[in-house]
A and B are shown apart, each in its own frame.
Chain A
Amino acid sequence: MGKIFDWIDSRFGVKQPHKKFLERPVPEGVNYAFCLGGASFVFFLMLVCSGLMLSIYYVPSEQEAFMSIVRLNNDVTLGAFIRSFHKWSANLLIITIILHTIRVFIYKAYRPPRELNWIAGSLTLIIALGSGFTGYLLPWDQKAYWATEVGTSMASTVPFIGKYILYLIRGGEDVTGATLIRFYSMHILYFPTIMFLLLWAHFHMIKKQGVKGGL
């Protein structure tokens, strides 16, 4: 394995420019709470892997979505396992991101020069919540339908433009097949892509600014 990696890296060259970063000393006063960001990233990777697997069987259409979930649960070997895997990782991701945010807040790591990274982090939290909301509709059962009906109707309470936001999210007056496709597209294309870009920015800034040590 090491040999193969070295062969590739001697041409590709990612190891050399990162050597200083990988071998940097860890600042004073860090503890296990500093792992929460890394844990969130691992959950995100687990979501990407299990999500890509679910998408092999899931059919994003008004008529077939529910049946495809039933098929996943009953007929596909390990189907129920992969669904649970995706669900648990999604919930744990939200929990670890929130705990990570609290840790950053307590250690005052949002202070200059790290303000922009606090903003990038907040955006990842919003995108993660958005992924959870859009993913919840995908099984297309009664619970999913009504959760989305109620959740999206909140948008209409925004003053003046509420109705337009509602139509934009639902792709029409009601929650229909058009909403399902919108949510599906957001869930598996837009949000993961945005998430990857945000995380790249997040890690880039950590590399440049380093981790802020203990209090």
Chain B
Amino acid sequence: MVRRDFLKSTVKIFFLLISIISVSVFSIFTYPWKFKRKELTFFHATDEEALPIKGVRQVFIKHIRGNTQINSKAFIVNSGSELFALSPVCTHLGCLVNWYRPKNRFLCPCHGGQYDMNGKVVKGPPPADLNRMPIKIEDGKVYIGLRV
């Protein structure tokens, strides 16, 4: 009987250990660590003299993620009264929009979403306006903020 009790408690301790380890691994795995650690970083996008007096300029922000170089697209808009940066990510399903000069609109190639120069939805399925990105100008250089 002693042997049986010993085996029984060994099995119990084994299952208890496995449960504790599993629950810890599950929690660590599912917790969004990286999401919390993302910080706003400013990247050089272009120079001030290259900005339009009035209009839209497409820029590419070069940055490195892991060991791959990424070119993130962004738009710098000068509406005449205000200068701001717009994210090209369509608020519908995330395709990248293009600036279409003849109509003065951002067009989404995926489901026909359209935005005006200020990023406001004018047509199509997008539920919200284009997102603005943080922008700053220092010493004639234009920086755009990304969360990486």
Which of A31-39, A74-82, A130-138, A150-158 is the contact stretch?
A74-82
Give Cα A75 to B148, complex, Å.
12
| Contact A56:B30 (CB < 8 A) given known A49-B22, A78-B25 | yes
Contact check, B29 vs A78: say whether CB atoms are below 8 A apart. Answer: yes
Contact check, B34 vs A76: say whether CB atoms are below 8 A apart. Answer: yes
Selected from A56, A70, A75, A77, the residue in CB contact (under 8 A) with B28 is: A77
Contact check, A75 vs B29: say whether CB atoms are below 8 A apart. Answer: no
List the B side residues contacting A75 at CB < 8 Å. 34
Say whether A30 faces chain B, with CB atoms less than 8 Å apart. Answer: no
Give Cα A96 to B66, complex, Å.
38
Of A53, A78, A79, most B-chain CB atoms within 10 Å: A78
Contact check, A82 vs B29: say whether CB atoms are below 8 A apart. Answer: yes
Name the residue on A nearest B19 (C-beta).
A1
Name the residue on B nearest A72 (C-beta).
B29
Say whether B6 faces chain A, with CB atoms less than 8 Å apart. Answer: no
Count, chain A residues at interface, CB 8 A: 12
Give Cα A77 to B34, complex, Å.
8
Say whether B14 faces chain A, with CB atoms less than 8 Å apart. Answer: no
A96 CB, nearest partner CB in chain B, Å: 19
A53 CB, nearest partner CB in chain B, Å: 6
Give Cα A11 to B123, complex, Å.
60
List the A side residues contacting B66 at CB < 8 Å. 70, 74
Chain B stretch 1-56: residues in CB contact (< 8 A) with chain A: 22, 25-26, 28-31, 33-34
Name the residue on A nearest B24 (C-beta).
A78
Give Cα A168 to B74, complex, Å.
42
List the B side residues contacting A74 at CB < 8 Å. 66
Contact check, A76 vs B22: say whether CB atoms are below 8 A apart. Answer: no
List the B side residues contacting A77 at CB < 8 Å. 28-29, 31, 33-34
Of A49, A53, A76, most B-chain CB atoms within 10 Å: A76
Contact check, A79 vs B22: say whether CB atoms are below 8 A apart. Answer: no
Give Cα A79 to B25, complex, Å.
10
List the A side residues contacting B33 at CB < 8 Å. 77
Name the residue on A nearest B25 (C-beta).
A78
Contact check, B34 vs A53: say whether CB atoms are below 8 A apart. Answer: no
Contact check, B22 vs A78: say whether CB atoms are below 8 A apart. Answer: no
Contact check, A78 vs B34: say whether CB atoms are below 8 A apart. Answer: no
Chain A stretch 52-84: residues in CB contact (< 8 A) with chain B: 53, 56, 70, 74-79, 81-82
What are the nearest 4 A-B pairs in CB distance?
A75-B34, A78-B29, A77-B33, A77-B28
Known: A77-B29, A79-B29, A82-B29. 8 other contacts (CB 8 A): A53-B29, A56-B29, A56-B30, A70-B66, A74-B66, A77-B31, A77-B33, A81-B25
